[in-house]
Structure 1
Amino acid sequence: MAIFKLSCLILLFPLPTTSSSYYGSAPTESQISYADHCASIVPKPTQEQFHYTRFSLPRHTGYYKGGSNLLIKNSSFGVPAVTSLIFRIWSIQAADHVEGLFKISGYIVFHRDGTYYHLRNYTHSRPTYYSGGMYYDEKQYYYSKHRGPVRFSLNGFWSESSGKLCMIGWYYSRQSHSGDSLYQPAVLKLYNFKNSTTAVNGLITGTLESLLNSENDPNFFKPVSIMILPMFNYEYSLVSKENVSGLLVQNDSSPGLPLTSFPRQTFCSLFSKAVNLFDLRFAGHCGFSAKNCTPFGREAEYLPLVVSFSEIECLEHKQRLRALIKFSSSRYDEPFNPNTALIGEGLWDSKKNQLNLVGCRFLGVTEDSFADAHVGDCSIGLSLRYPSIWTIGNSNSIVGNIWTSKNVTELGYFDKISFKRSYLNLPMRVSGLKYQYTKIDKARKLCSRKKHVNEEGAIYPYPFSQDMGFDLKLNSAKRLTVWGYSSPLSVGNELYSQFWYSKHYSNSTFAKTKQINISYQIGIMHI
């Protein structure tokens, strides 16, 4: 009787069935065959004999499109999730009998940082911004609904000569509702994965495809189109100290601060952190027409508000860097759009003390795929420097220009664009920076001193003290009240903020022996 009951209990459990998803334990080699999915890309060697090598590959970063059901969820707000990725090969073995063939293991991580909601009437949003003769409302994004990254563990082969790579692997996750482990199999195919690249031919493209048999499977995901920025033995072909001609020498600007003016006095330490977000200023006609205003022509749907520089690679000994240059309508981190971005090579000019860059466009990108993506149209020049002298008309910590080598009749021509960042972002303890008073004579005439005032024994606040700042309340003729603030920008030839970085506060008073020039920053807040 007990045996009969046990048999009944056993029969109550469902028998294993063939499924397109794998639960419990990882699929074996027999369940997912490398040859079935990769033989036409990178064939597996007939003699599987390998040896470890000192040859290593760096971590690569890139972007992706697609992957619905797994990577990207549809949003009713119409703003896609962040689409960045990381690809890393951590193990590499060379084949003994096939030259240039490597057995590799690694992973690819797709970031899904969240969903962005567009708020048009956010109460605490910044006021409109003025650029090129027109006011622009800054987009506001609210970040919510965090979603963690998806990581696929991968194994496969790479052909160094063809630049092709094929790997199979799995995405592992634990189901919260049941506690079961889920393994989703996939195949990664990459092209142009070479050990030496330049900007002109250097984009790595490919796909990650689900190996589930049916699109009706709830764990199936649509193909992911991938574009990766090259990192391995990159050759700087667009800028060099021996060949900086034509494009870069057109920009005639006054010299900036040398690297020795900054605390660490190194090229990479300065630009790896300082080069990020700048306000754009366009030609006067761009407030009414976008024609000939941006490097992207008709593909730009709007006149951007800011430009950002993100370092890809920096070589201290050669004073060169690569950067991703993104144009955006918001100061908030927007999803990457290759149609409004450049990839650039930069070189430090020690004579003008400025960073010169050559920018190239991303071409061949469609709405759904990076398959034909490549770099081209490297006719765009950029420069960036720290001004060594500030005035009332220029008190920006960093300034720069963007221009093209094309003439006005050529497709892709645009008028020169300038960009800047305010003094608030100036690094600490900068030496050699001076303030020049260009309107001080006019100020003396407007604010003349009466000679009969008895100033004997008068004392004044220490010019670098915090007492030199004050609040403002202004009443207009229409009885409107506005508030503001005023704080010193410079005292004498020394910047007020740099004084506090380099010296201790002194509570002493300053005896009146001579006049000291002082400049102020004034902010007005409308109520």
Structure 2
Amino acid sequence: MSNSSPMPTPPSTWYYRLSWLHTAIFVVLSTIFYTNMVSCSKTDIPYNKHCALIVPESNPNAFPQFTTIPFAQNQDGYFLGGEEILNHPNSSGYNYPSSNRRVLFFLTHSVYSTGVDDIYKVEATLMLKTSDFEYYTDGGISGGGPLSFEIEGFWSISTGKLCMVGSGSTYSEDGKHHVLAALLKLDDVRNSSTISSLVRGALESLSTEGDSDYFKPISLLMFPQINYKYTKVEKALDHVCSGGIEVPKSLSLGLKLSSPICQAFYRWNEWFKLEYSSGCKSTNSRSPFSEGVGYLPQIMSLRPIQCSEDGRSLRFLIKFPNSSYDDYYHPFNPDTTLVAEGSWDVNKNRLCAVACRILNSTNSLNNSHIEDCSVRLSFRFPAVWSIRNTSDMVGNIWSNKPGNDSGYFNTIMFRSYENFLVGIPGLRYEYTVVDKARKSCLEKQPSKTKGRRYPDANSNDMRFDMAVKNSKGRRILGWGFSKPIFVGDQIARQSNYLISSSSRAGNSLVKRKTNHSTPLNISYQMSFQLNKSTDVQVFAEGIYDTETGKLCLVGCRYLDSNSQTPDNVSMDCKILITVQFPPVDSNDYIKGSIESTWEKDDHLYFEPLSFSAVSFYSRHSRESIRRMDLEIIMVLISNTLVCIFVVHQILHLKKHPDVFPFISLIMLFVLTLGHMIPLMLNFEAVFVPKESRTTVLRRSGGWLEANEVLVRVVTMVAFLLQFRLLQIVWSARLADWKQKAFLAAEKRTLYVSLPLYVCGGVIAVYVNWRNNKLDDGMQYTYQRSLWVDLTSYAGLVLDGFLLPQILLNIFHNSTEKTLSRFFYIGTTFVRLLPHAYDLYRANYYVEDFDGSYMYANPDADYYSTAWDVIIPLVGFLFAAIVYLQQGFGGRCFMPKRFKGPEGYEKVPVASNA
């Protein structure tokens, strides 16, 4: 598990989802709005007034050229400042602490040569971005997102200066449009670069201080990528790596020419855990930085900048944040960052790197410079993994200065958090504590049952997500995942540990049959978080018995301490883990326990933990596809029946035009909304890209995707027919001569039904609020959204669609055959059939991880054993009441004193003859 802090989730955006019609209107209006905004944001800014003394203006040639450019195509960098025009520090929306991560992008559009050989005209976009999330501010100009400046100016190759003017456009919180006129000044913009090259500068406002469009200067820093030369590792690599910890070549994996080093290193923000030696107590001699930093770094992140053309060298930044959370959200800090370049040493199977400090005398980035390249690093890929070492990349960092010099520090070991070996064959695992696991497993061996089949050891069924609870299993403490690393001597199939095709290590396990008579050796990685703050990472090994589904493991967890050492003291290896997998033909849960074998008075002892997981085996995956096939067919049949029933009711009304006044408009309105709302919420699914569909749709190979469109088409037809029925009845009611009398009865129906609906909605809101309250000791809980609960309540209202008709029949007290039996009994059957299916589904299918329900969606109605019984009983009761009302009067089931006389009688129509 990555030890980086969990990423905060931005607010849900379901309410921004639009139908295709709304989307088309939105795009048109946005285009018009954006065009006006851009035209308004362009200002005539005289270049010579602001830049003539920096780079003089020269007449550009007519056509752009591409042989000389100031920056690479994907040039990025960092900036400080800009609070007035970017995210305000006191945001009132989703405000995460210290969310000030600031990056910039310089996008060169065109470069023109001029009449002066040394000067070029440059047109570009400067984009400032603070974070990956949007914020709503209490003040300031912008509420979040990137801010772009369209700029142009001139660049002098000989002086390395670039001066540009332009403007950006944004809106304040109150909707006021602001045009930000700006001046960009950059230094050391060269057509070649080395490790010591930095592009520094500032973005300044051209408005007067005190104006609403004014902002304070923003300092900029970039690491140029044009024509980069590796100057620090061009010497013999043995000399570069001298002074570090020497490891025999056989203990490290090598790289083939077909597997460039960049493929293994070029991952955004690679994380490493630092392990300090325990001999020194002085922070100054332990950390790569001075005591002024204020903390002893525990983690190191590696962020690649550039890769060489031959794939054997690379350039990267090395950051030492106080936490992974700080590294992602805090501004770029040159005081705790090293810039490095490294090259692969084929003789020692390692990457040797030289790192330099970024010195900064002030808080402004435009005063930064690179000096002191005395830091050395060595990275390697261990060829042998064990329970104490399952990191795909390890190494050490040291100083080549004498021990008494300023800036010297002791050697620091580091290991990677993640394990994603790419293109590196030859990895093997060495089992060291499997005998302990075998002994513990024999003591609690479950009985073998004939005919029961358990997951294969080398299948994806051995991976699972888990809910970690206390020993009694009553309180959820956290969530995590488990996955096998090695099965026997082979890398686990479909794990994240990828090997090149030349190794074929995983294929040998596929070809041979698993030996079920002897428990298999297996190693695992388990990661989970407790109490929202404590990350626990356990590596374990043991045995798995495919005849009983029992997994017994002995685990080691890394200890978090400022005085960690790279020996046994940094790990707690007295952990016993047992897991019981259910048979593949059952829907039972995976259950397990994590126990400490230390004495209770030992400081490493912890209370036993239990965990459970849903056993979503590959068989269940195939069943999920078949289930969705069945559900799509049921949806198509149901909607087709609805169309038939509505058509039959329309024909019934044409044969009996005198019954129009006795049909409840509220009932028809409820039925129409019941078809319209899901159609509006889900119709854009027809047009969304394939990548955004659910996992089940991807597994289905497209069949479900095509039929989902068909389902929506049939739903559209049902809605149109239902709307047509409402329109016919509404028109007939308006034309009826007894309009006032019938309107009074309809109002009475509304006065009774509406409070019932409102009370039910209030109860649904209250239940949602009460269920989502956290217990005092509960750290995690599943919170059901209010929208989902209200949607489910709307489904309940739709199930009882006959209630308004029953009330209207009572107020009319007539015996008219208002509704066709085919219509109200058939529609009742269609509404209640999902509840019967839900009872079947709950007892036959395993819980669906994807939430991909095509029929009887739990978020669209109340589904449970109790509701699946109550709702059909009430539905059939309503249908029976309507049947009696249309045969014996609207008040036939009421006491005599409430029946009263017939409310309405037929009046013979006079003939014109």
Task: Choose which of 355, 370, 373 in structure 2 pairs with 1:378.
Answer: 373
Matched AA of 2:55: V
What displacement does 1:489 show? 4.1
State the match for 2:420 in structure 1.
426
Distance apart, 1:438 and its partner CA = 4.0
**Inter-partner Cα distance in structure 1 for 2:420 and 2:101:** 30
Q: Which amino acid aligns with 1:196?
A: S
| Distance of 1:211 and 1:460 partners within structure 2 | 72
The answer as to whether partners of 1:320 and 1:347 remain within 8 angstroms in 2 is: yes
Cα distance change on mapping 1:174 and 1:243 into 2, 3 Å: same
* Equivalent of 1:324 in 317, 320, 327: 317
Q: Deviations over 1:17-47 (max 9, x none)?
A: xxxxx9946222xxx22111101111123x6
2:338 is the counterpart of 1:338: no
Q: Which residue of 1 aligns with 2:150?
A: 153
Partners of 1:346 and 1:79 lie apart in 2 by 32
Aligned 1:217-256 pairs, distance under 5 A:
217-240=211-234, 242=236, 244-248=238-242, 250-255=244-249, 256=252
Structure 2 unmatched ranges of 5 or more = 1-37, 136-141, 444-452, 499-505, 525-539, 541-554, 556-576, 578-593, 595-607, 611-913
Query: Where do residues 339-488 of structure 1 align in structure 2 (5 Å cutoff)?
Result: 339-367=335-363, 369-422=364-417, 425-427=419-421, 431-439=425-433, 463-464=457-458, 488=484
What's the offset of the Cα at 1:421? 2.3
What is the aligned-residue identity percentage? Answer: 34
Give the equivalent residue in structure 2 for 1:209: 204
Aligned mates of 2:133, 2:90 — CA distance in 1: 8
Does residue 308 of structure 1 match 2:301?
yes
Kindly report which structure 2 residues correspond to 1:82-161, keeping only aligned pairs within 5 A, or say none. Answer: 82-96=101-115, 98-113=116-131, 147-161=144-158
2:113 maps to amino acid: A
Out of 47, 63, 66, the position equivalent to 1:54 is: 66
Q: SS at 1:245's partner residue?
A: helix
> Counterpart of 1:61 in structure 2: which amino acid?
D
Q: Which has the higher strand share?
A: 1
SS in 2 for 1:158: strand
**What TM-score do the two structures reach when normalised by structure 2?**
0.45
Instruction: State the partner residue of 1:7.
Output: none
CA distance in 2 between counterparts of 1:222 and 1:473 reads 51
Contact 1:103-1:157 within 8 A present in 2 as well: yes
Name the counterpart of 1:185: 181
CA distance 1:515–1:163, change in 2 (3 Å)? same
Contact 1:429 1:498 in 2 (8 A): no
For 2:515, the aligned partner's letter is F
For the residues of structure 2 that align with 1:85 and 1:415, how far apart are their CA atoms? 35
Q: 2:760 is matched with which residue?
A: none
Alignment match of 1:43 (pick from 36, 56, 71): 56
How many Å apart are 1:304 and its aligned residue?
1.9
CA distance in 2, matches of 1:215, 1:435: 65
Secondary structure in structure 2 of the residue aligned to 1:52: coil
* Cα separation, 1, equivalents of 2:216 and 2:117: 35
Question: In the alignment, is the contact (CA less than 8 A) between 2:340 and 2:356 conserved in 1?
Answer: yes
1:133 matched to which residue of 2? none
C-alpha contact (below 8 Å) 1:312/1:324 kept by paired residues: yes
The offset of 1:291, in angstroms, is: 3.1
SS in 1 for 2:393: strand
Alignment check: 8 A CA contact 2:263 2:422 kept: no
Matching residue within 194, 197, 206 for 1:198: 194
For residues 83 and 66 of structure 1, the distance between their equivalents in structure 2, rounded to whole angstroms, comes to 9
Distance 1:93 1:248 in 2: 48
Note if contact 1:66-1:72 (Cα within 8 Å) is conserved in structure 2: no
Residue 311 of structure 1: CA displacement?
0.9
Which SS does the other structure have where 1:291 is aligned?
Answer: helix
Q: Which has the larger radius of gyration?
A: 2
Q: 1:505 to 1:40 in 2, by over 3 A?
A: same
Residue 393 of structure 1, CA deviation: 2.3
Write the distance in 1 (CA, Å) between the matches of 2:39 and 2:211. Answer: 14
**Superposed displacement of residue 222, structure 1:** 0.5
* Equivalent residue for 1:495, pick from 487, 491, 494: 491
Looking at structure 1, the residues matched to 66 and 457 of structure 2 have their Cα atoms a distance apart, in angstroms, of 61
Stretches of structure 1 that go unaligned for 5 or more consecutive residues are: 1-21, 118-144, 450-458
Q: Which has the higher contact order (CA 8 A, sep 6+)?
A: 1
Greater CA deviation, 342-351 or 80-89? Answer: 80-89
In terms of mean alpha carbon deviation, does 270-279 or 486-495 score higher?
486-495
**CA contact 2:335–2:360 (8 Å) conserved in 1:** no
Q: Which stretch shows the higher mean deviation, 484-493 or 264-273?
A: 484-493
Compared CA separation, residues 160 and 475, structure 1 to 2 (3 A):
closer
Q: Secondary structure of the equivalent of 1:284?
A: coil
Q: Which amino acid aligns with 2:118?
A: G
Q: State the secondary structure of the residue aligned to 2:403.
A: coil
Q: CA deviation at 1:425?
A: 2.3
Hey, what's the Cα distance between the residues in 2 that align with 1:291 and 1:313?
31
Verify: 1:172 aligned to 2:166, yes or no. no
In 1, Cα distance between equivalents of 2:41 and 2:469: 71
Looking at structure 2, the residues matched to 246 and 356 of structure 1 have their Cα atoms a distance apart, in angstroms, of 6
Q: Which letter does structure 2 place at the counterpart of 1:432?
A: G
AA at the equivalent of 1:420: R
What corresponds to 2:285 in structure 1? 292
Q: CA deviation at 1:296?
A: 0.8
Deviation at 1:49, TM superposition (A): 5.2
Structure 1, residues 137-159: CA drift from partner, whole Å, max 9, x if none? Answer: xxxxxxxx971111111111000
1:271 corresponding residue in structure 2? 265
* Greater mean alpha carbon deviation, residues 321-330 or residues 168-177: 168-177
Q: Which amino acid aligns with 2:264?
A: L
Question: Distance in 2 between the 1:51 and 1:343 partners?
Answer: 37
Change (3 A) 1:473 1:505: farther
| Superposition TM-score, scaled by structure 1 size | 0.75
* Change beyond 3 A, Cα 1:299–1:61: farther
RMSD: 4.1
Please state whether the residue corresponding to 2:266 is helix, strand or coil: helix
The answer as to whether partners of 1:115 and 1:146 remain within 8 angstroms in 2 is: no
One-letter amino acid of the counterpart of residue 409, structure 1: N
Secondary structure of 2:233's match?
A: coil
**Partner in structure 2 of residue 120 of structure 1:** none
Query: Which structure has greater helix proportion?
Result: 2
**C-alpha deviations, 1:451-487, integer Å up to 9, x for none?**
xxxxxxxx998553578789999979xxx99999987
User: Is the contact made by 2:485 and 2:495 (CA closer than 8 Å) also made in structure 1?
Assistant: no
Report deviation, 1:505.
7.2
Alignment partners' CA distance in 1, 2:90 and 2:403: 42
Alignment-mate amino acid for residue 407 of structure 1: P
Are the structure 2 counterparts of residues 91 and 482 from structure 1 closer, same or farther at C-alpha, using a change threshold of 3 Å?
Answer: closer
Question: Structure 2: which amino acid aligns with 1:211?
Answer: L
